[in-house]
Amino acid sequence: MALTFFRGVQTRPLLSYPSIYFALRKHNVSYCNMQNTQLETTERQEGQLKGSTREIHSKPHDKLLKDFEAVIGIETHVQLSTQTKAFCSCPYNYGAAPNTSICPVCMGLPGALPVLNSKVIEAAVKVGLALNCSLSLDSKFDRKQYFYPDLPKGYQISQFDVPIASSGSLDVDLPVEYGGGHRRFGITRVHMEEDAGKLLHTGSGNYSQVDLNRAGVPLLEIVSEPDMRTGIEAAEYAAEIQRLVRYLDVSNGNMQEGSLRCDVNISVRPTGQQEFGTKVEIKNLNSFSSVSRAIDYEISRQVDLHTQGLADQIVQETRLWEEGSQKTITMRKKEGLADYRYFPEPDLPGVTLSEEYINSIGSSLPELPETKRRRYENMGLSMQDVLFLANDITVAKFFDATIAGGADVKLAANWIMGDIAAYMKNAKVSISDIKLSSEELCELIASIKGGTISGKMGKEILFELMAKGGTVKGLIKDKDLVQIVDPVEIEKIVDKVLADNPKQLEQYRGGKTKLQGFFAGQVMKESKGKANPKLLNQILLQKLNATS
């Protein structure tokens, strides 16, 4: 007990965030229509976007907004997709029957001792390196004490004064619809900790229910510098964190399941004022668009209070984002600093990393989203294409495999972003669910480019490939779709069509040259759509204009 006190006396305080301030830019402050953004991930439900076009607050005057500056920082909790919990071997499966994945360690029973899962360190090092952080070769775990029914031990094992990674950065490309642009946001720290259980509040009745399956599941907390200025920037930062953890395969990054949770810190102050505004924390943000809308709402709310001379009504508090009313509401007011009485976790040894270990992880890192985007950009793809393709790791892998097979970059991008994306959206499947392989897409593109089949036929085949599978060659053969590129063959058909339509031929030669289209259509019909259009037109024109 006394040790606790001593330790407490001499260790450092809760992290205080350095702040960077900036002016709000008027064009994207208060309205947020997320409908076109690239932020959504493939599993996003359509319905979620509905209603997002709604105006979220009374329209603030641009002039007023220009008079204020906002500071936004984000704390992200990433649930690691390990097989077992952080400090015990309990399996963790989302959606398992309540209170089935428990043991003396995660239940906090006396005498049970935690043992760290090696995968947690691996994930932390991966994320730390991917975020350009400095890694601590010696870090440790600390106890963060608080009383709450979802926390069986009465403390959370976390990292306090020596996080495993710190001082990094994250590069982000803003969506093209919002003017695009590249941003680099600072990362304050990344640390390892365990999750708490899940509390369910029953509608009626004066009790709550606790499920401790999640208690002890490993998390990484990623804290950003307060470098963001707008809801869009914050949402894109969060989306990039999601991309990063998915690329690294350390988490499924699923916001709906709570595998990726964002808490936003936001303050507003009059432009030019030296002191920071009062910081408000927003929770319950379970989609990127809610991150963006909640922030824009909160900026408006705080600016309104400032302009009405009611700035003192902005208090340090935690607010909840209400999806229904599109507003933030007070959850709890903070009365002074929370007293977590951190001290080093005596049941766990320190966490030591060797240079070799870090190097081996570093050299096994996959290509990260930012690197991928720059590479795609250098291939000559438009930013819209780049952002789409790199957004989802499975799509990016499919695209990479397709072009690795020799497919034309732009054509591959067009097929994936056009017909393939439309099909996936319609059938609500991901690119790994469709039966089309990257090899076949490559073959398809080559077949069209080589003239074996027309683009139109290609489309036809594509849908069949996606739905039923098979090969391009097989389908071309089965459907007898090989394009007619033999001029003699086409000439024969043209001759037949001209012979069958003497009247029209006469009219054409009498000056009604518009009839060329009619003839072209007839020839195409006669060839069952297989005549090469270019050759067809060439030969047709020759024949039509022939003197005899």
Partner 1 sequence: MANRALNLLRASTTVVPITTRRSSFLSPNIWSPRTVEVKQRRSKRSYSTSSLEPPDVSRLAETARISLSPEEVEEFGPKIRQVIDWFGKLQDVDLQSVEPAIRADTEGDNIRDDIPETFPNREAIIATIPNFEDSYIKVPKVLNKE
Residues 316-335, interacting with partner 1 (CB under 8 A): 331-332, 335
11 binds partner 1 (CB under 8 A): yes
Can you read off the two tokens belonging to residue 331?
A: 């959850």
91 binds partner 1 (CB under 8 A): yes
Q: Return the C-alpha torsion angle 509, 513, 514, 515, nearest 10.
A: 30
139 binds partner 1 (CB under 8 A): yes
The burial of 544, by beta-carbon neighbours within 10 Å (0-12 exposed, 13-18 middle, 19 or more buried), is given as: middle
109 binds partner 1 (CB under 8 A): yes
Under 8 Å between Cβ of 250 and 236: no
* Least Cβ distance, residue 139 to partner 1 (angstroms): 8
Compute the distance between CA of residue 75 and CA of residue 263 in angstroms, rounded to an integer: 5
Compute the distance between CA of residue 136 and CA of residue 128 in angstroms, rounded to an integer: 10
* Least Cβ distance, residue 290 to partner 1 (angstroms): 21
* Least Cβ distance, residue 253 to partner 1 (angstroms): 19
Out of 51, 115, 360, 427, the only residue in the binding site for partner 1 (CB under 8 A) is 115
Out of 168, 186, 344, 458, the only residue in the binding site for partner 1 (CB under 8 A) is 344
- Most distant CA pair in the chain: distance in Å? 112
Which 352-371 positions form the footprint of partner 1 (CB under 8 A)? 352
110 phi and psi, to 5 degrees? -60, 140
Out of 110, 111, 203, 336, the only residue in the binding site for partner 1 (CB under 8 A) is 336
Sequence-separated (6 or more) residues with CB below 8 Å from residue 293: 32, 34, 52, 56, 231, 321, 326
Out of 1, 488, 499, 546, the only residue in the binding site for partner 1 (CB under 8 A) is 1
DSSP reduced 3-state for 78? strand
Instruction: Give the C-alpha distances (Å, rounded to integers) separating 5 from 158, 171, 341, 539.
Output: 18, 41, 9, 94
Residue type, 72: I
Total Cβ atoms within 10 A of residue 109:
12
Report which of 305, 319, 317 is spatially closest to residue 68, judged by C-alpha positions. 305
Stretch of residues binding partner 1 (CB under 8 A), selected from 139-147, 172-180, 489-497, 514-522: 139-147
Sequence-separated (6 or more) residues with CB below 8 Å from residue 406: 442, 446
Under 8 Å between Cβ of 117 and 217: no
For partner 1, give the closer residue by CB, 347 or 419: 347
450 binds partner 1 (CB under 8 A): no
CA 493 to chain centre: 53
6 binds partner 1 (CB under 8 A): yes
Report which of 343, 346, 318 is spatially closest to residue 144, judged by C-alpha positions. 343
140 binds partner 1 (CB under 8 A): yes
99 binds partner 1 (CB under 8 A): yes
Stretch of residues binding partner 1 (CB under 8 A), selected from 125-133, 142-150, 362-370, 384-392: 142-150
Which 157-176 positions form the footprint of partner 1 (CB under 8 A)? 161-162
* Least Cβ distance, residue 270 to partner 1 (angstroms): 27
* Least Cβ distance, residue 397 to partner 1 (angstroms): 24
Compute the distance between CA of residue 401 and CA of residue 379 in angstroms, rounded to an integer: 15
- Concatenate the DSSP letters of all residues of 139-166 into one string: E--EEEE---TT-TTSEEEE--SS-SEE
Which 186-215 positions form the footprint of partner 1 (CB under 8 A)? 199-202, 205-212
545 binds partner 1 (CB under 8 A): no
For partner 1, give the closer residue by CB, 218 or 458: 218
Stretch of residues binding partner 1 (CB under 8 A), selected from 82-90, 250-258, 270-278, 404-412: 82-90
Stretch of residues binding partner 1 (CB under 8 A), selected from 57-65, 108-116, 486-494, 507-515: 108-116
502 binds partner 1 (CB under 8 A): no
Stretch of residues binding partner 1 (CB under 8 A), selected from 61-69, 70-78, 116-124, 297-305: 116-124
For partner 1, give the closer residue by CB, 349 or 380: 349
* Least Cβ distance, residue 459 to partner 1 (angstroms): 46
For partner 1, give the closer residue by CB, 207 or 547: 207
Stretch of residues binding partner 1 (CB under 8 A), selected from 86-94, 173-181, 289-297, 455-463: 86-94
* Least Cβ distance, residue 203 to partner 1 (angstroms): 11
For partner 1, give the closer residue by CB, 161 or 377: 161
Stretch of residues binding partner 1 (CB under 8 A), selected from 145-153, 220-228, 481-489, 497-505: 145-153
Under 8 Å between Cβ of 392 and 42: yes
Out of 25, 146, 486, 512, the only residue in the binding site for partner 1 (CB under 8 A) is 146
Give the per-residue contact string, 35-74, with partner 1 (x = CB under 8 A; - = no). ----------------------------------------
117 binds partner 1 (CB under 8 A): yes
Out of 18, 51, 149, 474, the only residue in the binding site for partner 1 (CB under 8 A) is 149
Q: Quote the DSSP letter at residue 451.
A: T
Query: Which helix H or strand E contains 201, and what residues bound it?
Result: strand 198-201
Out of 29, 32, 121, 235, the only residue in the binding site for partner 1 (CB under 8 A) is 121
427 binds partner 1 (CB under 8 A): no
Report which of 528, 426, 411 is spatially closest to residue 459, judged by C-alpha positions. 411
Which 210-249 positions form the footprint of partner 1 (CB under 8 A)? 210-212
Q: Quote the DSSP letter at residue 420.
A: I
Sequence-separated (6 or more) residues with CB below 8 Å from residue 421: 388
What is the bridge-based pairing of β-strands 134-135 and 343-344? unpaired
472 binds partner 1 (CB under 8 A): no
Total Cβ atoms within 10 A of residue 242:
25
* Least Cβ distance, residue 301 to partner 1 (angstroms): 21
